């Protein structure tokens, strides 16, 4: 297959002004009539070429005259009409089969309802159209269906007409006044319950809010509704953005490839990211719902009103919108805790991607299937790039640039260059060097070297950066890297300093390292400092520092930058685990670490949510990314052994903490209450590393007494770590209690997939034949197969290679009907070069087997073949 390249971009040959769609909904044979008002874009004599995949043609007409069969050509991918006027109306009719559509792209059925997913290229599975984001048109949509089976008929914009028809049918007409690309089209039809609310915007307009869910589930949408209203308010206050339509709708569906989708005025959500009550959702689910509701809502301005010129610009809307939702969550739940969680997610998902064969630019320059680029790099690293821009420009200038962007580009499809230009224009700064963040893949390594001169009271700080080669990019340039820093003396007191060339002493500075190596001089430094660098994780890099462990202990105890306080604990734990994994355990260091953690836990000033994060050690996969070559079994053993030491050393303290945080009274979803639950569950999880009866009993008691899903899962997960009969009993009880709740049963599958026991793969294999396992449902499939491959490194990387073979089997099976979901599971095999050679060879063999399979989708082919390069 031929790749699509950014450098080949051409403006569309034809533009569409108006789209009229008419749907006659039938599960197996839906008729779609379309009337497009088209005009030639510029002077050329090109034919009209429209995308259309697996459409059954019924008729084609121009300006009311049916075309003869030889006047057009239809291939499996498009419709071409050789000669058309400069301006005309094209009418087509096709038939599609939503019930048979298991790729969940285009129009399909989920739980007996019609729903759609068009991003990135699903609209072409509905009707013939120039399916590209730079064709913006006004849509009118008429939907007709059986009234009893499909009582609600929804599409984008405003409902302008509806009524009953003969034969038990009914119809609705929706008009969307805002021109939009076709990937934002949506249609939902079926039986749904409604949760209604409203919001008054900053200019005093009343907007009706509706959330549609499975019958009987409306109460579970209350939290999402509340999140939506807070998002609307926040976007007004923070970015001056007001909602534009009179109606905003969200629909929850169970079968969905993505998390959620920002269709204009009609967001469609994976039900796992919308429905919550204390009994069935964990605090993590609540957090995610709040963040994703905000994310999709924020897209209305960053994505919909201003959209992407082409799919290479995906980060223009995604990186920016993730940055916006992260800022929102930080304001809602506490900036530091949110920042730590975001960085953990970046390290868990983006760093491995950037260190392997699938590494790509934040703005890629070629692809086979754009579906493969909905990645952590484009989303999360894309958000980091925006955050750095804000750090470099300052909050006020950043806001000015955003204002200009909204003003200049509203109603258009644009590029990342145009976005950055707005910030260059308002600040007068040359941002061309900054642009390299979009074009250079790989995680830079930042080396920090400090030399203190006690006599001169001066600190010389040498910062250097280097980025390892990534596929297609052997030579890397230095990037402008904002480094926020401060100094502490060895008693933990803040030290002031004067940066060379400045007079006023400061306690914090942001320097921008824009060369491979730079030495900075700080004067007036009263005593030997511990240097706190990259505060707040001011750039998405990996820090390598020669500072002695004692400096990290100072930071762990006293760094006023709480991110770095947490980071110091992570660094200490990382070094201890890697030393042990390499066969050189530092027992004294481990004891010292345990002591320091004990003190940190006693700190009355620290929030429980923060302490919970302190207690969780770097994950096995984070550790694998930084060890070369990675030995997952050794990493696991070493990590567990440090956990066990903490559990034993801090046992009484952890049990007291666990007991003392027990909740009384009514459940609250607030960040504070969630923080207490997080700390209590983190204490239990740590105790699980010491599976003595006293701790097993505690976990059993915790599980049995759980009054909410967070605690139930906390108990179940602790029992999972300890294994044996108590875990089996809890699993059975949990299943019996929740078997009617698909979202909860997803968790039941996932917790088993993470089991560290020897027979974990056998258990997972067994679960693939469980009556509740359904590979056609992406949530269930990911809960079992995805969790095993990405969340259970020690078992997935079993030396037999059975884990790899299992994953390849699953990818191939699902690829037959849902390529998008299958392709997302290739990544765990992609890192083969980073693992012990025996493992790497086995991983590679499975990738080769995948690539050699006949009839493979482009999606899986692209990732598996790139992974082999």
Q: Residue 766: which residues within 8 A CB-CB, separation 6 or more?
A: none
Element (H, E) at 96: strand 87-96
Contact stretch for Zn ion (CB under 5 A) within 305-313, 316-324, 480-488, 797-805: 316-324
Closest of 578, 563, 490, 486 to residue 532, by C-alpha: 486
Site string for Zn ion, 92-111 (x = CB under 5 A): --------------------
Our CB check for ligand DPP shows the closer of 299 and 747 to be 299
Whole-angstrom Cα distance, residue 71 to residue 73? 7
Exactly one of 144, 176, 290, 296 binds ligand DPP (CB under 6 A); which one? 296
487 bridge partner residues: 495, 531
Selection from ligand DPP, Zn ion, none that 261 binds (CB < 5 to 8 A by kind) is ligand DPP
8 Å CB contact between 49 and 163: no
The whole-angstrom separation of Cα 288 and Cα 273 is 7
Question: For residues 267 and 555, which CB has a smaller minimum distance to ligand DPP in the complex?
Answer: 267
Per CB under 6 A, 295 contacts ligand DPP:
yes
- At its nearest, how many Å lie between ligand DPP and the CB of residue 671? 23
Q: Pick from 369, 323, 372, 373: which is nearest to 346 by CA?
A: 323
Please give the residues from 298 up to 317 whose contact with ligand DPP meets the rule CB under 6 A. Answer: 299
DSSP state of 464: E
Catalytic pick from 93, 287, 290, 296? 296
**Alpha helices, H only, 91-221:** none
Nearest residue to ligand DPP, by Cβ distance, number only: 258
Decide whether 321 or 467 has the Cβ nearer to Zn ion.
321
Nearest by Cα to 823 from 767, 778, 788? 778
Query: What gap in Å lies between CA 231 and CA 235, rounded to an integer?
Result: 6
The encoded tokens of residue 819 equal: 């390529």
Look at the block and give the residue holding tokens 């007291």: 656
Q: Residue 119, interface with ligand DPP (CB under 6 A)?
A: yes
The phi-psi region of residue 411 (left if phi > 0; otherwise alpha if psi is between -120 and 50; otherwise beta) is left
Minimum gap (Å) between residue 35 Cβ and ligand DPP: 28
Choose the binding region for Zn ion from 317-325, 453-461, 545-553, 570-578 (rule: CB under 5 A).
Answer: 317-325
Size of the site for ligand DPP (CB under 6 A): 9
Cβ contacts of 322 within 8 Å, gap of 6 or more: 295, 379, 380, 382, 383
Is 607 noted as a catalytic residue in this protein? no
Find the shortest distance in angstroms from Cβ 120 to ligand DPP: 8
Whose tokens are 């070369």? That residue is 628
State the nearest-atom distance from the C-beta of 292 to ligand DPP, in Å.
Answer: 8
Q: Which stretch binds Zn ion (CB under 5 A): 99-107, 315-323, 565-573, 673-681?
A: 315-323
- Per CB under 6 A, 121 contacts ligand DPP: no
Q: Which is nearer to ligand DPP, 285 or 590 (CB)?
A: 285
Stretch that binds ligand DPP, among 234-242, 259-267, 522-530, 720-728 (CB under 6 A): 259-267
Per-residue x/- marks for Zn ion, 320-349, CB under 5 A?
A: -x----------------------------
Residue 260-279 contact track with ligand DPP, rule CB under 6 A, x = bound: xxx-----------------
In the complex, least distance from residue 262 CB atom to ligand DPP, rounded to whole angstroms: 5
List 161's β-bridge partners, or say none.
173
Spatial distance between the Cα atoms of 69 and 87, rounded to a whole number of angstroms: 21
Contact code string over 79-118 relative to ligand DPP, x by CB under 6 A? ----------------------------------------
Residues 6+ apart with CB under 8 A from 140: 18, 19, 20, 21, 160, 173, 174, 175, 176
Are 735 and 728 a contacting pair, CB within 8 Å?
A: no
Closest CB 317 distance from ligand DPP, rounded Å: 7
- List the interface residues with ligand DPP, window 464-523 (CB under 6 A): none
The DSSP H or E segment spanning 212 is strand 206-213
Tokens representing 38?
């088209």
Shortest CB 138 distance to ligand DPP, Å: 21
Q: Which is nearer to ligand DPP, 273 or 678 (CB)?
A: 273
Number of residues located near Zn ion, criterion CB under 5 A: 2
Tokens of 566: 């947490």
Stretch that binds ligand DPP, among 256-264, 277-285, 346-354, 838-846 (CB under 6 A): 256-264
119 binds, among Zn ion, ligand DPP, none (CB under 5 to 8 A by kind): ligand DPP
Residue 631 is a binding residue for ligand DPP (CB under 6 A): no
Which of 258/398 has CB closer to ligand DPP?
Answer: 258
Q: Which stretch binds ligand DPP (CB under 6 A): 258-266, 492-500, 598-606, 759-767?
A: 258-266
| Residue 356 three-state SS | coil
Q: Cβ of residue 336: shortest distance to ligand DPP, in angstroms?
A: 25
Nearer to ligand DPP, 299 or 645 (CB): 299
Pick the stretch among 253-261, 282-290, 740-748, 831-839 that binds ligand DPP (CB under 6 A). Answer: 253-261
CB atoms within 10 A of CB 346: 21
Whose Cβ is closer to ligand DPP: residue 260's or residue 459's?
260
Tokens of 322: 């993730």
Q: What one-character DSSP code corresponds to residue 220?
A: G
Nearest distance, CB of residue 86 and ligand DPP, angstroms: 34
The DSSP bridge partners found for residue 176 are: 139
Q: Residue 679 binds which one of Zn ion, ligand DPP, none, with CB within 5 to 8 A depending on kind?
A: none
Minimum CB separation of residue 323 from ligand DPP in Å reads 13
The answer to whether 258 contacts ligand DPP (rule: CB under 6 A) is yes
Tell me how far CA of residue 557 lies from CA of 191, 379, 506, 551, 598, in angstroms.
56, 33, 22, 10, 11
List CB contacts of 179: < 8 A, sequence separation 6 or more: 136, 137, 138, 411
Cis amide leading into 668 (omega within 30)? no
**Burial of residue 238 (number of CB atoms within 10 Å: 0-12, 13-18, 19+):** middle
- Per-residue DSSP letters for 733-781? HHHHHHTT-HHHHHHHHHHHHT--STTHHHHHHHHTTSTT--TTSHHHH
Q: Which of positions 206-225 make contact with ligand DPP (CB under 6 A)?
A: none
Nearer to Zn ion, 227 or 810 (CB): 227
- Measure the CA–CA gap between 809 and 147, rounded to whole angstroms: 42
798's contact among Zn ion, ligand DPP, none, with CB below 5 to 8 A by partner kind, is none
Q: Is 702 in the site for ligand DPP (CB under 6 A)?
A: no
Q: Could you tell me the smallest distance in angstroms from the CB atom of residue 269 to ligand DPP?
A: 10
**Contacting positions for ligand DPP (CB under 6 A):** 119, 258, 260-262, 295-296, 299, 318
**Contacting positions for Zn ion (CB under 5 A):** 318, 321
Catalytic annotation, residues: 296
């Amino acid at each position: 297959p031929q790749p699509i390249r950014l450098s080949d971009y051409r403006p569309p040959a034809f533009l569409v002004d108006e789209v009229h769609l008419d749907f006659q909904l039938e599960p197996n044979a839906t008729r779609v009539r379309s009337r497009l008002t088209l005009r030639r874009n510029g002077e050329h004599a090109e034919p009209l070429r429209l995308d259309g995949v697996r459409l059954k043609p019924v008729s084609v007409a121009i300006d009311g005259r049916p075309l003869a069969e030889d006047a057009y050509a239809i291939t499996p991918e498009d419709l071409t009409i050789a000669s058309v006027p400069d301006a005309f109306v094209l009418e087509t009719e096709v038939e599609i089969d939503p019930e048979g559509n298991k790729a969940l792209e285009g129009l399909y059925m989920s739980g007996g309802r019609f729903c759609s997913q068009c991003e990135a290229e699903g609209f072409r599975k509905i009707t013939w159209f120039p399916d590209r984001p730079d064709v913006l048109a006004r849509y009118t949509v008429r939907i007709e269906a059986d009234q009893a089976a499909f009582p609600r008929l929804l599409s984008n914009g405003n409902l302008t007409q509806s009524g009953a028809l003969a034969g038990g049918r009914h119809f609705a007409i929706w008009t969307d006044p805002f021109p939009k690309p076709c990937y934002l089209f949506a249609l939902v039809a079926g039986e749904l319950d409604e949760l209604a609310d409203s919001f008054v915007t900053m200019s005093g307009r009343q907007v009706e809010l509706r959330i549609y869910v499975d019958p009987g589930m409306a109460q579970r949408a209350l939290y999402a509704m509340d999140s939506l209203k807070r998002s609307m308010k926040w976007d007004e206050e923070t970015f001056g953005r007001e909602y534009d339509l009179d109606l905003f709708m969200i629909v929850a569906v169970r079968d969905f490839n993505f998390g959620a989708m920002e269709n204009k005025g009609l967001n469609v959500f994976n039900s796992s990211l919308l429905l919550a009550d204390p009994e069935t959702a964990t605090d993590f689910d609540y957090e995610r719902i709040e963040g994703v509701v905000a994310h999709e809502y924020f897209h209305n301005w960053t994505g919909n009103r201003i959209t992407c010129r082409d799919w290479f610009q995906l980060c223009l809307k995604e990186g920016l919108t993730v940055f916006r939702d992260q800022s929102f969550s930080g304001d809602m739940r506490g900036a530091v805790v949110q920042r730590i969680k975001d960085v953990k997610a970046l390290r868990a998902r983006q760093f491995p991607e950037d260190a392997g064969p699938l590494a790509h630019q934040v703005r890629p320059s070629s692809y086979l299937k754009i579906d493969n680029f909905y990645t952590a790099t484009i989303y999360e690293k894309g958000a980091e790039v925006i955050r750095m821009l804000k750090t470099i420009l300052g909050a006020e200038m950043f806001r000015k640039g955003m204002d200009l962007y909204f003003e200049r580009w509203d109603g258009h499809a644009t590029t990342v260059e145009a976005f950055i230009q707005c910030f260059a224009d308002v600040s007068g700064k040359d941002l061309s060097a900054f642009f390299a963040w979009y074009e250079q893949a790989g995680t830079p390594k930042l080396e920090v070297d400090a030399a203190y001169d006690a006599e001169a009271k001066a600190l010389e700080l040498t910062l250097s950066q280097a980025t390892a080669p990534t596929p297609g990019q052997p030579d890397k340039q230095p990037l402008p890297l904002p480094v926020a820093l401060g100094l502490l003396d060895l008693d933990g007191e803040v030290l002031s300093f004067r940066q060379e060339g400045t007079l006023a002493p400061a306690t914090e500075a942001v320097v921008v390292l824009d060369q491979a190596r730079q030495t900075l001089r700080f004067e007036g430094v009263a005593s030997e400092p511990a240097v706190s660098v990259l505060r707040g994780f001011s750039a998405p890099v990996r820090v390598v520092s020669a500072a002695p462990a004692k400096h990290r202990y100072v930071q762990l105890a006293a760094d006023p930058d709480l991110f770095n306080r947490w980071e110091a604990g992570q660094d200490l734990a990382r070094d201890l685990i890697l030393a042990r994994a390499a066969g050189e355990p530092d027992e004294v260091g481990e004891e010292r670490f345990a002591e320091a953690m004990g003190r940190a836990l006693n700190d009355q000033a620290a929030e429980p949510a923060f302490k919970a994060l302190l207690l969780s050690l770097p994950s096995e996969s984070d550790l694998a990314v930084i060890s070369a070559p990675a030995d997952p079994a050794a990493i696991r053993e070493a990590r567990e052994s440090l956990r066990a030491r903490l559990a034993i050393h801090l046992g009484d303290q952890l049990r007291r903490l666990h007991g003392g945080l027990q909740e009384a009274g009514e459940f609250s979803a607030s960040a504070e209450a969630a923080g207490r639950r997080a700390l209590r569950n983190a204490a239990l999880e740590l105790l699980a590393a010491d599976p003595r009866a006293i701790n097993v009993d505690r976990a059993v008691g915790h599980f049995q007494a759980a009054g909410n899903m967070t605690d139930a899962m906390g108990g179940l997960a602790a029992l999972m770590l300890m294994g044996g009969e108590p875990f089996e009993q809890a699993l059975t009880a949990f299943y019996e209690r929740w078997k009617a709740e698909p979202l909860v049963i997803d968790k039941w599958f996932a917790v088993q997939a993470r089991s560290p026991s020897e027979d974990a793969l056998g258990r997972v294999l067994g679960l693939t034949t469980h009556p509740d396992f359904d590979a056609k449902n992406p949530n269930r499939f990911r809960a079992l197969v995805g969790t095993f491959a990405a969340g259970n490194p020690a078992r997935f990387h079993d030396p037999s290679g059975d884990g790899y073979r299992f994953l390849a089997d699953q990818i191939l099976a699902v690829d037959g009907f849902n390529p998008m979901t299958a392709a997302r599971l290739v990544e765990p095999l992609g890192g083969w070069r980073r693992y012990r050679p025996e493992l790497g060879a086995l991983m590679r063999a499975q990738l080769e087997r995948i690539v050699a399979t006949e009839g493979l989708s482009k999606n899986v082919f692209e990732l598996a073949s790139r992974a082999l390069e």
